[in-house]
Structure 1
């Protein structure tokens, strides 16, 4: 298991959805979390966390990956804006009732320096819950 800091991502408080960094390299990241089961998860509505919100889990793994890559180079990752989700497949309706942690995976497909595309997938005990692709552009500051 690798170490990481929440300071790598812009999310604060309960919106920090990811708990553990398992492993990462230049292209991939694997994280784990149990925040889907937390009653105070800010993405819940009507007491449930719907599977569509797993896209945010994937996006946060992407942000951590970008932050780790920048940190390795002695830099800070530029803030990014999620601009598209594509080919998203949801295999369950909700996830708040799943016991134990979720596996959150992201793989960098494209890096232009100012935009990035990743594939992501979320699993629970070997079962695929959600997958898709996401594109991010650097926020203009």
Structure 2
């Protein structure tokens, strides 16, 4: 399936406040993957040292994309989850380049209480960060 979804849809998928939403649009998706464009601009809440982002921040981009993918595949919007693990994290450079960013996530495992995705973030300079993120969904009390 394809079809763009905008920022308001993405905000509704995330359990954070709107200021923490790092994604701008869903560019494509299927039951197995999602591709999102990240928001640009100097108001990024993760930015440090003159508005730059560290490569490790790609993990949060990926986690947000997985949340959006879960909703697109029929899950509950704004379902709270926690990043349970990050594995095989590789980056080309320690800081992300400015400009457009795109995050691609491929689901490896999907269960009621956890999901695992391989991800890659590309920025204006090309492939920047890749890895695997696991998100756990704690049982509600």
**TM-score band, normalised by shorter chain:** 0.7 to 0.9
Matched, 1:136 2:139: no
Matched, 1:46 2:45: no
Match of 1:86 in 2: 87
Shift of 1:129: 0.3
Aligned with 1:10: secondary structure? coil
Which string of whole-angstrom CA distances, capped at 9 and with x for unpartnered residues, describes residues 27-50 of structure 1?
100011233xx2221111222211
TM-score by length of 1: 0.85
CA-atom RMSD, angstroms? 1.8
Aligned with 2:73: secondary structure? helix
Match of 2:126 in 1: 127
User: CA 1:15–1:76 in 2, change beyond 3 Å: closer, same or farther?
Assistant: closer
TM-score by length of 2: 0.85
Aligned with 2:46: secondary structure? coil
Q: How does 1:78-117 map to 2 (within 5 A)?
A: 78-95=79-96, 97-99=97-99, 101-117=100-116
Match of 2:69 in 1: 65
Match of 2:38 in 1: 33
Q: Stretches of 4+ moved more than 6 A in 1?
A: none
Shift of 1:125: 4.8
Q: Show structure 1 runs of 5+ residues with no match.
A: none
